[in-house]
Amino acid sequence: MEQIHKTLRDAKGMRWLVLILVSFTMLCAYYLTDAMAPLQERCQTSLSWSATDYGFFTSGYGWFNVFLLMLVFSGMILDKLGVRFTGVLSIIIMIAGAFVKYWAISGHVDGTFEMHLGSYQLLAPTAKSAVVAGLGFAIFGVGCEMFGITANKAVVRWFRGKEMALAIGLNTSTGRIGTALAMFTPVPLVNMTGHLSAPVILSLLLLCIGFLIFLLFGVLDKKLDKEEAAAGISSDDEFKFRDIIDIAKNKAFWYITALCVLFYSAVFPFIKFATNLIVQKFGISDTFAGYIPALLPFSALLLTPLFGSMYDRRGRGASIMVLGSLLLVFVHLLFSIPSLNNLYIAVGLVMVLGVAFSMVPSAMWPSVAKIIPENKLGTAYAMVFWVQNWGIMGVPLLIGNVLDKYCISGHVQKMVDGKMIEVTQYNYTIPMLIFACFGGVAILFAFLLKHEDAKKGYGLERPNINK
Ligand SMILES: NCCCC[C@H](NC(=O)[C@@H](N)CCCCN)C(=O)O
């Protein structure tokens, strides 16, 4: 006779409480990730940054994750030391990074910085404040990504065989609330306080609250450990180097990873430049321009759980990813057309992008858990995030450079903080075409993944809930 063991994760209320506890920190982390996006023009005027400096600072998020392989180490730490330890460590790292970022943009750093290796110029003269803020963002990025994989693993642990995709979707949605808040609160906050660093101080506060809330999750998760140990359920979480090789041998894993880096390269970096795009192309002030990109995470936050729940009940995960990638290309292509400069069109396109931004993540993250066994999941998520970070890091650099080199359309005089300042105008057609190209290649990988699933039977088109 099969013995049925009831543990905390079998109690619906407990599962959802855990989700709330894990998700709050996600909101705080995502807020800080995007809080400088609506302030691009302010950084350029108040800190004398160029678009290249802004792109350089923005790319900071991925520096340590990519070059120091911090994400890979994070995955190992997660699989070896568990979600509680890794979660706490990641929040401490985020707080440290946020502090450095605050220091740099609050006027403590002046001058420019350049780097040479012999006669070769590694870094052209860049505002020192952008370099230090980038370093802070790089430290923060290590914590934020480490927390992302920890949250994924915690949610999969508590929801596997139950409402897994819905839970991952809701967790992602909470992050989107952070992104939405980051789109429309920074400019009013800066206007109110007169300090460019005000949103960063708010994030620091939120992260400290997140830290305390995560400790509560730790108490429940430890209790689940004890119950499972008493019931003889082993979690076999030990990390082995062989895991990386096993994961790397899986073709479907590489298809989903390629889809991930391409899709997100066309979304996250787009968010960083979106406020400025709206200011430049549709001619509205940055105070209101941030409201339009805010519709993107806002619609995604409502729709991600919806698509997640559809995937749980009806399946069709691979098809959802194909359709989401198609929508992405559609939106970026229309954004690239200079004559389409009606504000209603911008609102409509951002909403459609929100649909794409719900479809792909809601199907992608639960699908990784179908392709890779749970004991290797921390490492697998870390490997996907590592590749994805190349895009999060490289694409803002690329776009910043392209803007300064090929897209300057003029200069205007604007009143900023009571002073008349020259503001550079950009034409965003080329950057939007670059984003569309990423989407085009993403479609190809979404099809390859669907084909591989049909061949190997991972069940990406099947529902997640065990009936
Ligand atoms: N449970 C959440 C699944 C991952 C969500 C995914 N996050 C990432 O891809 C992160 N590597 C990057 C986070 C950057 C923060 N703006 C997402 O869709 O947000």
**pLDDT tens-place values along the chain, 467 residues long:** 444 557 888 888 999 999 999 999 999 999 999 999 889 888 888 888 888 888 899 999 999 999 999 998 998 898 889 999 999 999 999 999 999 999 999 988 787 777 777 777 777 778 889 999 999 999 999 999 999 999 988 998 899 888 888 898 899 889 999 999 998 899 999 999 999 999 999 999 999 999 999 999 999 999 998 988 887 776 655 667 788 899 999 999 999 999 999 999 999 999 889 888 888 888 787 777 778 888 888 888 889 889 989 998 999 999 999 999 999 999 999 999 989 888 899 999 999 999 999 999 999 999 998 999 888 888 898 899 999 999 999 999 999 999 999 999 888 887 766 677 788 889 999 999 999 999 999 999 999 999 999 999 999 999 987 65
Q: Which atom of ligand 1 is nearest to the CA of 365?
A: 3
Ligand 1 atom, smallest distance to 168 CA: 1
pLDDT at 2: 44
Cα of 172 vs centre of ligand 1, distance in Å, is: 7
Tokens (6 digits) for 429: 């057609």
Q: What is the pLDDT of residue 28?
A: 93
DSSP 5: P
Q: How many Å lie between the centroid of ligand 1 and the Cα of residue 294?
A: 17
Q: Residue 149 domain-assigned?
A: yes
The whole-number pLDDT of residue 230 equals: 83
Whole-angstrom Cα distance, residue 172 to residue 9? Answer: 20
Supply φ then ψ for residue 125, to 5 degrees. -50, 120
User: Which residue has the CA at smallest separation from atom 15 of ligand 1?
Assistant: 30
CATH of the domain at 307: 1.20.1250.20
- 385 half-sphere exposure, CB direction, 13 A CA radius: 30
Residue 162's pLDDT is 84
Indicate whether 467 belongs to any domain. no
Asked whether residue 466 is domain-assigned, the answer is: no
Residue with CA nearest ligand 1 atom 13: 145
Quick check: 147 and 30 in contact, CB under 8 A?
Answer: no
**How many separate domains does the chain show?**
1
Q: Ligand 1 centroid to 34 CA: how many Å?
A: 12
CA-CA distance, 179 to 202, in Å (whole number)?
14
**What is the best residue among 168, 261, 264 to mutate for testing ligand 1's pocket, by most ligand atoms within 8 Å of CB?**
264
Contacts of 50 (CB under 8 A, 6+ apart): 44, 127, 400, 404, 424
Q: Is residue 196 part of a domain?
A: yes
Measured in Å, residue 41 CA sits from the centre of ligand 1 at: 26
Give the nearest ligand 1 atom to 175 CA: 19
Q: What whole-number distance in Å separates Cα of residue 152 and Cα of residue 368? A: 10
Contact 220, 20 (CB under 8 A): no
In a domain, 82, yes or no: yes
b/e code 306-344 from CB counts within 10 Å (16+ = b): ebbbbbbeebbbbbbbbbbbbbbbbbbbbbbeeeeeeee
Q: Ligand 1: which residue has its CA nearest to atom 18? A: 361
Which of ligand 1's atoms lies nearest the C-alpha of 264? Answer: 9
Going from the Cα of 428 to the center of ligand 1, the distance in angstroms, rounded, reads 25
CA quadruple 355, 358, 362, 367: dihedral sign: positive
pTM to 2 decimal places: 0.87
Q: Is residue 2 part of a domain?
A: no
Residue of 385, 386, 387, 389 to mutate, ligand 1, most atoms within 8 A of C-beta = 385
Q: Tell which one of 70, 365, 367, 383 to mutate to probe ligand 1, the residue whose CB is within 8 A of the most ligand atoms.
A: 365
Ligand 1: nearest atom to the Cα of 268: 16
Distance 129 CA to ligand 1 centre (A): 27
Q: Which residues line ligand 1 (CB under 6 A)?
A: 30, 33, 145, 148, 151-152, 168, 171-172, 175, 264, 268, 361, 365, 385, 388
Pocket test for ligand 1, best of 140, 173, 268 (most atoms within 8 A of CB): 268
Is residue 407 included in any domain, yes or no?
A: yes
Greatest Cα-to-Cα distance within the chain, rounded to the nearest angstrom = 81
> Whose C-alpha lies nearest to ligand 1, atom 9?
385
What pLDDT is recorded for position 234? 65
Q: Which atom of ligand 1 is nearest to the CA of 151?
A: 1
Domain ranges, residue 368: 10-228+237-456
363 CA distance to ligand 1 middle (Å): 13
What is the CA(145)–ligand 1 centre distance, in A? 8
| Of 326, 354, 358, 351, residue with least CA distance to 450 | 326
Packing angle of the helix pair 12-34, 198-230 (nearest 10 deg): 150
Strands annotated E in 98-254 = 112-117, 120-127
Residue 295 lies in a domain: yes
Indicate which atom in ligand 1 lies nearest the CA of residue 271: 16
